[in-house]
Structure 1
Amino acid sequence: MSPRIYLATTGRILAQLRADHRTVALIVAVPALLLTLLYFVFNDEQRFSPIALIMLGILPMLVMFLVTSVAMLRERTSGTLERLLTTPLHRADLVVGYATAFAVAALVQGLVLVSVAHWGLGVETAGPLPWVLLVAVVGSVVGVATGLLASAFARTEFQAVQFMPLFIGPQIFLCGLLAPRESMPELLQRVSDVLPMTYAVKGLQAVGSQGDPTGDVLRNVAILALFAVGALALAALSMPRQTR
């Protein structure tokens, strides 16, 4: 990797994001709107708050997976990636540049989402609110990394979208949102142990129930970061120059 090329790549992707208002709205506004809709669906703050806290780890990961998988595939289908790779740009520069640019977007997304949840919808936590933001942002970065990895195996934008149920669906079922993981069969518990969304949920549940969740949060955030690094490394290795 070249620091100069990496920074130039990050700047280019950020500029593209700023110019794409629909994508910015999808990243920043849609998760908050969905959480607000869920508030009115439950119409009960006591039932809503625990679910809403978990959704702060799920919605960002889901949205960022979708956006980045389609965005990277568009680079390939348009021929942009093939042209870029004729320059000194390395695949790692591109993948890490994408991850950094979308991490900035994830920070904005997390700030909006956590603000709406806490001050707009009354979601309370036993632990400090910045821990919620940290888990939400790192979870978003995992969504970015897995989206980039999924895009390497898709030929069209429609195929990239089709990967979302495969990558995200099982995680939603097994992360502890619909049922406690402890009540699941042992096999499903073992599967959930290797899915990143599980650790986003565990980190947020720790913030929700503990006054000082520092140890639990940092442990789960570290595991999420390892997932992100691994997915980015695989994405850099498997990314084709173009889609035929």
Structure 2
Amino acid sequence: MQNDLLLLSSSAVFGMKPLEYALDVVKEFLDGESNLLFVPYALANYDSYTIRVQNMLAPLGVAVEGIHTAVNPRQVVETARVLFVGGGNSFRLLKALQEHDLLAIVRKRVEAGELRYMGSSAGTNMACPSLRTTNDMPIVQPSSFGAFGLIPFQINPHYLDPDPHSHHQGETRADRIEQFLEENDVPVLGMREGCWLRRRASALILGGITGARLFTRKAEPQEIAPGTDLSWLLETRALFDWRG
């Protein structure tokens, strides 16, 4: 199956164990695969991050291999069947992916149906054309903002609704997304913690225990409930040079 994706807004939800809210859909996504290649580049301590993910997926009996343990990361990507790109800092993650020359090979194998892609938080952001809708501070500088481009629209993980009772005078998440849309005519899906996107070829469904908000240029944001078919978003054309 081409473009087999599971994109989680987050691995954690308040009051639940890490990945607990999504274990059923992760099991469905794995479809019997018992080995997973994990990309921990978004955090500084690769070993401890990989162990954490192994513990998260232990209920499913999945063996997790950290890509950082390979002498040649590209080589293990070329033979992997499932890739999980974890969360953390999106700028650090993208810079490492570029330095290891992994963007093109992952994109090619996912689009060919040879590799299943699961992302969480920053890893979900990497599935977009660009990291431009991340929430993160640019602690490092990647050579470009172009990411995997496995979907043609943008995602804002960990989306937070404006709090009408807050005294905070700075920009809300919605304000920042609207500023993005002033410069880029590309839909942005603000995914609250606890939701995911499941793509199978040309079908795209929002799932989870929370919903999302869809932002488009010169339109009011739309509330998207779990179970909504968003396949039409796959027809979006990214209007910026995301590979540059």
Q: Would you say same fold, with TM above 0.5?
A: no
| Structure with greater helix percent | 1
TM-score by length of 2: 0.30
Structure label with greater radius of gyration: 1
TM-score by length of 1: 0.30
